[in-house]
Amino acid sequence: MTTRPRYVLLDTHIWLWASLGIHSKISTVTQKALEDAAVTGGLLVSIISVWEIALLVSRGKVALPAPLDEWTQIALSRPDLRLVGLTRPGVVIDSVNLPGEFHGDPADRFLVATARAHRAKLATYDRKIIEYARGGYVEVLGA
């Protein structure tokens, strides 16, 4: 009997740092959890993170070492990483009906709803998401 891999959804900044090799910004505990999830094929990146990085690049807030299309293709090409889209209507619906109190940032809402739908821990250092997780609505790494 095989067990289902433990999924970890990477918040946009975690995916960006890991892809750029900026591991010093990611705690040892979080790095270990990401390595464990990678072994079982449980690392997830949301299409929303691709959108969010594209926005940051277009606004000049992030500089990538390659053109956005090329960088994205390379960053998503890891065999231990799976891109998840907004193909589940429940994710979109949950993003606007999250339980408890949550802020209005649409990207964060989609990421939290995606983590909930995949029963994944969300690897993040976003203080608002970490505070929200204290209510038991989503599991996080990095807190």
pLDDT in tens, 61-101: 999 999 999 999 999 999 999 999 998 899 999 999 999 99
Give the Cα separation of 122 and 111 in Å (integer). 8
Written as one string, the DSSP assignment of 67-135 is -HHHHHHHHT--TTEEEE-S--HHHHHHHHS-SS-----HHHHHHHHHHHHTT-EEE---HHHHHHHTT
Average pLDDT of the segment spanning 12-31: 94
Work out the percent of the chain whose per-residue pLDDT is above 90: 87
In a domain, 87, yes or no: yes
In a domain, 3, yes or no: no
Question: Tokens representing 10?
Answer: 């990477």
Average pLDDT of the segment spanning 104-129: 96
pLDDT reading at 4 higher than 60: no
Domain count, the chain: 1
In a domain, 2, yes or no: no
Per-residue pLDDT band at 2 (split at 50, 70, 90): very low
CATH number of the domain to which 53 belongs: 3.40.50.1010
What does the pLDDT read at residue 3? Answer: 45
> Which range of residues forms the domain containing residue 102?
8-141
End-to-end CA distance of the chain: 33
In a domain, 74, yes or no: yes
How large is the angle between the packed helices 47-58 and 68-75, nearest 10 degrees? 150
In a domain, 1, yes or no: no
Which residue bears the tokens 């960053």? 75
In a domain, 54, yes or no: yes
Overall pTM > 0.75: yes
Residues in the chain: 143
Look over the chain and give the mean of its residue pLDDT values, rounded to a whole number. 93
Is residue 23 within 8 Å of 17, Cβ to Cβ?
yes
Per-residue pLDDT band at 41 (split at 50, 70, 90): confident
